[in-house]
């Protein structure tokens, strides 16, 4: 065994809460760079691995805001298990698109969608205990748990994600210059 | 030595009557700002241009330049405060850049990039600010208003129309229009008005021209806002109003 | 617009000469008759004064006491200073709301009544206080609440309510040279005139234009200014600027005319001494203003009286008419040719920030009360861009004494650096709240002993923007060189929770921020939310750090004193009463910004669910 193989891989978990998986797709846009990345990292819970529960990790990357009770549970699971928690994308940072409902009363929304709307509004408001209840408003994740780093963008460009991860893995404070920081 | 002051170790000449901001921009030294505009009188409300002069904090846009001033601008302490001010503006309104036509041309956004604001940090206010789409040519999206009063000043001073004003106070302060109905369509506002062209963010938007410039070619895509310093050089009073 | 409203508007705007700078008075008078300011009325007023409609709406929207929405025919506002809270105002307000089937802040379905809170109304020595349709009623009790709700339900006009309810006590507990003054009206002016030849003013105004500074060679005014300077009188409104220097600068400033403005916008919570001065010694205050006019060469004076003291308007106007009859106001005052001066009382409408002199001037001009960029200062560019002096009520009263008795006489009172006396408004936990006039230099302990305070934990001097003193500091002195004050002196005994005191003040600043600058507009609301979070039991060390950072920003970047001082009460109490904060904090490093379980309330209501999955445990429980 050579020395490099002994060095433990950085363990990363990722998830999407109230998001569109667009940030995950953008991550995949690092293309062939994923191969050298896999030399130094391994994935825990993530849509890429299909692992359902997050174990102890070095880095947790969370896409999407917090719109329902399940999001809160998943976010806490990540916070409890990840040394470094990263908010990725506009939704995780400020609620993003899902938060565009925040000026409406949730009761009106549920009524409109499940009772009044001629398309689907017949079955009544779902009350199955299996379903997570929506929160009154959608919140960015830093309003629910402590977040260590933010990577803005809708989605952040693959190059920004690559720069961020390589900095982090190399033990540097991640730093994106002009052209890589985007809010859109 | 007369008519020169010092900003972060660099000498900046000024003419009497110029503010610190005007002199600095003229000399090619960028100071972040939102309520300042080269064609209008200093306003002093956004406080992004806060500097320290001889150790004392001051708004550089309203402070008259004086010989021998020692101005600190890009120090870690001041940059940190400016970042907080941007974050305050970001949580005060509803700034959802991905859906905004002004994205890429927005000064609030560009300053966020310049000062490396990675998160709004504070808790969101999520105010309820309905849009006004009543006007034939212009949409008003109050969600993005940062209360710089540039449209108010442009409409009053250049257009002589007084289409805009502020109402409320404190955190409930908001932009209103000059009509009993509260609708822009019921004012004499026109697309050609100066007030239609000064919004630093995405409140006053011409209809039917959204997203005309492709991503990559927008105003602040190629170079950061600090590299656009020549665009902010104050216009001599005689020429005020000429520039679009 | 209904004809009746149109008639009201026409009458009021005509009375004010269709002058837009009188907008505050126009709006108030229309509202006093109609109850609120409907959109059509705003349009009509704007047309009458020749202002853009939006600008009139802009002013109307700024002040708490103007309503562009109906607020009920009876509007009950509970003064919400911490001293009112300590006297149980919240329980009384809740009782009133229950009896009226109302939520605070909401108008009843029938449009009859609304109940809400308002910033300190200056009745701290006789609280809990309310304003009913902007008339002050102190000393609220459960019985009064009961009776008042009945009168409201029976729709008895406020004018027919028991007269004793509207009686305001002066509660003067210690009087000195100001409150003991028995000088006849006109004596101070006579003393001024005696210092120069009778024809000096006319001669001077013939020789030199106003622009060049009319009174330079006139002995009476300059000799009086010398006495003011000799007295070392300093402003009593809080900032302590030397009065003589201010008057001299205004006197020398070029302008077409000059103005004298009396700042009676006593908005600092816990302060009520100007109310008592204007009740007990209005002649002394007006005489001081007239002396100032004589010195600087002003022809017009304004008293900017806070809207909460609306009940003083008629009595003050009566004093002004008497003084006109006595030849102490009007043309050729005291037989001095060319000395023309008159005073008008201008009412504010519920905006603390108008106590800042440039915001006050903006308000006098009919605009939003937003502090101006300075320089230029009001002494050169004040009301209507003319040289203007703005002084506190107490400063003018003291100036009248100086003019009458001389600077050396005045200087003998107080300390070497703080000449004269100071009125303190004492309230809170003490046996004898009220007004205490002391020579400068009195110790805090002395005041506490005199007012009958026992087991005192803290004293908030000069209101929320002042300083909070703990018991090891009670040896300090009220004086510009030690503890300067605008006059508030709120006492808290050991049963009080100093965190709640600071939280009340934080709410006050958020409510009163004018919103002009970013740090104060957003920062004061963020501070309020953080303090509420801590009060709700969700605070952590992280939140205290946030408060610390916000304080640094406000100190550095806020536009005016309101923002600079908004963190003072938090800082003083955090430093001196740490346990009041610590015992509220969670041991965790971080707590969510909002109550997670409460955030599921609407969904629970709509789905009818109450199972375990329909709730979110707190972060603390989740961590176990």
Domains along chain A? 9-100+136-169 (3.40.50.700)
pLDDT digits (tens, 9 = 90+) for C179-193: 999 999 999 999 999
Cα separation, B244 vs B198, whole angstroms: 9
Pick the CATH number of C187-411 from 3.40.50.450, 3.20.20.70, 3.40.50.11540, 1.10.260.40: 3.40.50.11540
pLDDT digits (tens, 9 = 90+) for B50-77: 999 999 999 999 999 999 999 999 999 9
* Whole-number pLDDT of residue C210: 36
* Whole-number pLDDT of residue A5: 54
Give the up-direction half-sphere exposure of residue A54: CA atoms within 13 A in the CB hemisphere: 26
Is 1.20.1440.230 the CATH number for C499-582?
yes
Task: Tell me the pLDDT band of B240, cut-offs 50, 70 and 90.
Answer: very low
Chains in contact with chain C (at least 3 beta-carbon pairs closer than 8 A): A, B
* Whole-number pLDDT of residue A7: 78
Fold of the CATH domain C76-169:
Glutaredoxin (3.40.30)
Beta bridge partners of C470: C458
Structure tokens belonging to residue C146:
């009961």
- B180 touches C: beta carbon within 8 Å: yes
| DSSP secondary structure, C163-183, as one string | GGGG-----EEE--TTTT--P
Check C599 against A126: CB less than 8 A apart.
no
Rounded (5°) CA angle C434-C465-C472 = 70
Task: Count the neighbouring beta carbons within 10 Å of the beta carbon of residue C321.
Answer: 10
Q: Which residues of C184-200 are buried (b: 16+ CB within 10 A; e: fewer)?
A: ebbbbbebbbebbeeeb
A129: closest chain C residue by CA: C613
- A132 interaction partners in chain C (CB closer than 8 Å): 613
- Provide CATH 3.40.30.10 ranges for chain C: 76-169
- B98 touches A: beta carbon within 8 Å: yes
- A137 interaction partners in chain B (CB closer than 8 Å): 126
CA-atom Rg of chain B in angstroms: 18
Task: Tell me the pLDDT band of A4, cut-offs 50, 70 and 90.
Answer: low
Q: ipTM more than 0.90?
A: yes
Chains in contact with chain A (at least 3 beta-carbon pairs closer than 8 A): B, C
* Whole-number pLDDT of residue A115: 86
Can you tell me the mean pLDDT for B170-190? 98
According to the 3-state scheme, what is the secondary structure of A10-53?
EEEEEEECECCCHHHHHHHCCHHHHHHHHHHEEECCECCCCECC
pLDDT digits (tens, 9 = 90+) for C457-475: 999 999 999 999 999 999 9
Whose structure tokens read 């009073």? Answer: B237
Pick the CATH number of C421-496 from 3.10.20.600, 1.10.8.60, 3.40.50.11740, 3.40.640.10: 3.10.20.600
* Whole-number pLDDT of residue B2: 65
CB pairs under 8 A between B and C: 120
Cβ atoms A183, B103 nearer than 8 A? yes
- Provide CATH 3.10.20.600 ranges for chain C: 421-496
Cβ atoms C338, C330 nearer than 8 A? no
Of residues C542, C589, C604, nearest to A133 (C-beta): C604
- B46 interaction partners in chain C (CB closer than 8 Å): 517-518
* Whole-number pLDDT of residue B242: 41
Of residues A72, A125, A134, nearest to C596 (C-beta): A72
According to the 3-state scheme, what is the secondary structure of B210-243?
CCCCCCCCCCCCCCCHHHHHHHHCCCCHHHCCCC
Check B179 against C53: CB less than 8 A apart.
yes
- Provide CATH 3.40.50.11540 ranges for chain C: 187-411
Task: State chain A's maximal CA–CA distance in angstroms.
Answer: 67
Of residues A102, A103, A181, nearest to B116 (C-beta): A181
Q: Which domains occur in chain B, in start order?
A: 4-74 (3.10.20.740), 105-222 (3.30.70.20)
Q: Tell me the pLDDT of chain B averaged across its residues.
A: 94
Task: Quote the minimal CA–CA distance from A71 to chain C in Å.
Answer: 11
Residue A123 in this model has a pLDDT that exceeds 80: no
CB pairs under 8 A between A and B: 77
Check A100 against B90: CB less than 8 A apart.
no
Interface test with C, best of A69, A79, A123, A134 (most C CBs within 10 A): A69
pLDDT digits (tens, 9 = 90+) for B11-39: 999 999 999 999 999 999 999 999 999 99
- Provide CATH 1.20.1440.230 ranges for chain C: 499-582
- A95 touches B: beta carbon within 8 Å: yes
Of residues C42, C518, C549, nearest to B47 (C-beta): C518
Q: Which residues of chain C have pLDDT under 70?
A: 197-218, 620, 623-624
* Whole-number pLDDT of residue A6: 63
Cα separation, B240 vs C35, whole angstroms: 45
Structure tokens belonging to residue C610:
């109450």
Check C517 against B45: CB less than 8 A apart.
yes
- C602 interaction partners in chain A (CB closer than 8 Å): 105-107, 136
* Whole-number pLDDT of residue C216: 44
Which DSSP letter does residue A129 get? T
C622: closest chain A residue by CA: A76
Cα separation, A76 vs C378, whole angstroms: 57
């Amino acid at each position: 065994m050579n020395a490099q193989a002994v060095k433990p891989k950085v363990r990363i978990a990722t998830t999407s809460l109230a998001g569109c998986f667009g940030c995950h797709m953008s991550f995949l846009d690092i293309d062939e760079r994923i191969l050298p990345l896999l030399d130094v990292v391994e994935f825990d819970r993530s849509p890429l691995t299909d692992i359902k529960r997050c174990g102890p990790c070095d880095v947790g990357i969370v896409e999407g805001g917090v719109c329902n009770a399940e999001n809160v549970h998943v976010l806490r699971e990540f916070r409890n298990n990840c040394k470094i928690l990263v908010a990725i994308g506009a939704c995780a940072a400020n609620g993003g698109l899902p938060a565009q409902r925040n000026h409406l009363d949730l009761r009106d929304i549920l009524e409109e969608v499940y009772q009044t709307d001629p398309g689907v509004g017949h079955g009544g408001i779902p009350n199955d205990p299996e379903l997570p209840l929506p929160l009154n408003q959608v919140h960015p994740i830093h309003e629910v748990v402590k977040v260590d780093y933010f990577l803005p963008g809708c989605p952040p460009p693959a190059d920004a994600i690559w720069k961020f991860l390589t900095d982090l893995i190399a033990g540097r404070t991640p730093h994106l210059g002009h052209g890589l920081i985007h809010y859109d | 030595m007369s008519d020169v002051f010092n900003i972060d170790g660099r000498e900046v000449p000024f003419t009497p009557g110029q503010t610190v901001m005007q002199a600095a921009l003229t000399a090619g030294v960028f100071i972040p700002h939102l309520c300042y505009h080269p064609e209008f009188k200093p306003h002093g409300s956004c406080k992004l241009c806060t500097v320290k002069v001889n150790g004392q904090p001051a708004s550089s846009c309203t402070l008259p330049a004086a010989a021998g001033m020692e101005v600190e601008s890009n120090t870690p302490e001041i940059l940190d405060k400016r970042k907080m001010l941007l974050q305050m503006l970001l949580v005060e309104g509803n700034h959802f850049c991905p859906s905004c036509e002004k994205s890429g041309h927005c000064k609030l956004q560009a300053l966020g990039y310049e000062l490396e604001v990675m998160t709004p940090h504070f808790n969101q206010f999520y105010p309820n600010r309905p849009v006004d789409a009543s006007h034939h040519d212009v949409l008003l999206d109050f969600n993005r208003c940062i209360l710089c009063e540039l449209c108010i000043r442009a409409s009053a001073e250049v257009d002589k129309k007084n289409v805009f004003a502020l109402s409320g106070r404190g955190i409930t302060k908001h932009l209103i229009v000059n009509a009993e109905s509260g609708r822009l369509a019921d004012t004499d506002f026109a697309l050609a008005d100066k007030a239609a062209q000064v919004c630093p963010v995405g409140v006053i938007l011409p209809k039917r021209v959204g997203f005309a410039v492709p991503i990559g070619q927008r105003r602040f895509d190629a170079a950061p806002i600090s590299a656009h310093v020549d665009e902010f050089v104050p216009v001599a009073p005689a020429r005020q109003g000429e520039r679009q | 617009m209904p004809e009746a409203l149109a008639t009201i508007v026409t009458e009021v705007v005509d009375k004010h000469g269709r002058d837009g700078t009188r907008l505050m008075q126009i709006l108030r008078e229309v509202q006093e008759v109609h109850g609120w300011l409907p959109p059509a009325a705003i349009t009509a007023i704007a047309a009458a004064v020749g202002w853009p409609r939006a600008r009139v709406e802009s002013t109307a929207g700024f002040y708490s006491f103007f309503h562009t929405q109906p607020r009920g025919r009876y509007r009950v506002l509970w003064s919400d200073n911490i001293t009112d809270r300590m006297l149980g105002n919240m329980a009384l307000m809740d009782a009133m709301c229950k009896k009226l089937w109302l939520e605070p802040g909401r108008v009843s379905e029938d449009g009859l009544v609304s109940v809400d809170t308002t910033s300190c109304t200056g009745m701290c020595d006789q609280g809990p206080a309310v304003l009913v349709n902007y008339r002050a009623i102190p000393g609220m009790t459960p019985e009064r609440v009961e009776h008042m709700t009945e009168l409201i339900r029976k729709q008895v006009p406020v004018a027919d309510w028991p007269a004793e309810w509207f009686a305001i006590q002066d509660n003067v507990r210690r009087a000195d040279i100001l409150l003991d003054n028995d000088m006849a009206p006109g004596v101070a002016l006579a003393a001024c005139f005696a210092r120069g030849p009778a024809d000096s003013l006319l001669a001077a105004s013939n020789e030199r234009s106003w622009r060049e500074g009319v009174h330079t060679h006139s002995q009476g005014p300059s000799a009086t200014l010398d006495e003011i300077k000799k007295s070392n009188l300093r402003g009593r409104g809080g900032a302590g600027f030397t009065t003589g220097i201010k008057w001299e600068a205004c006197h020398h400033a070029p302008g077409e005319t000059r103005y004298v403005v009396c700042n009676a916008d006593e908005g600092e919570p816990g302060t009520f001494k100007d109310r008592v001065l204007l009740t007990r010694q209005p002649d002394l205050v007006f005489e001081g203003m007239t002396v100032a006019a004589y010195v600087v060469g002003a022809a017009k004076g304004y008293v900017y009286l806070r809207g909460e003291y609306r009940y003083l308007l008629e009595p003050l106007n009566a004093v002004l008419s008497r003084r006109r009859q006595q030849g102490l106001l009007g043309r050729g005052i005291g037989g001095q040719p060319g000395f023309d001066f008159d005073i008008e009382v201008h009412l504010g409408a519920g905006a603390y920030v108008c106590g800042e002199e440039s915001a006050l001037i903006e308000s006098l001009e009919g605009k939003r009360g937003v502090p101006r960029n300075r320089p230029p200062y009001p002494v050169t560019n004040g009301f209507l861009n003319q040289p203007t002096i703005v002084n506190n009520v107490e400063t003018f009263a003291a100036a009248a004494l100086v003019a009458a008795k001389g600077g050396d006489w005045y200087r003998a009172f107080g300390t070497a650096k703080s000449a004269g006396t100071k009125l303190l408004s004492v309230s809170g936990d003490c046996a004898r709240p009220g007004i205490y006039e002391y020579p400068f230099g009195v110790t805090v302990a002395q005041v506490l002993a005199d007012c009958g305070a026992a087991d005192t934990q803290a004293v908030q001097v000069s209101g929320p923007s002042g300083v909070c003193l703990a018991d090891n500091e009670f040896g300090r002195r009220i004086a510009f060189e030690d503890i300067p004050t605008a006059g508030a002196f709120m006492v808290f005994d050991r049963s009080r929770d100093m965190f709640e005191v600071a939280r009340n003040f934080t709410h006050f600043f958020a409510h009163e921020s004018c919103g002009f600058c970013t740090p104060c507009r957003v920062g004061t609301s963020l501070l309020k939310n953080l303090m509420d979070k801590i009060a709700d039991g969700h605070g952590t060390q992280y939140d205290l750090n946030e408060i610390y950072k916000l304080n640094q920003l406000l100190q550095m970047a806020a536009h005016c004193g309101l923002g600079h001082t908004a963190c003072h009460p938090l800082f003083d109490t955090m430093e001196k009463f740490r346990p009041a904060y610590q015992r509220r904090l969670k041991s965790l490093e971080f707590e969510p910004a909002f109550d997670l379980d409460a955030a599921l309330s609407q969904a629970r209501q709509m789905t009818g669910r109450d199972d375990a999955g329909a709730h979110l445990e707190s972060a603390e429980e989740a961590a176990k």
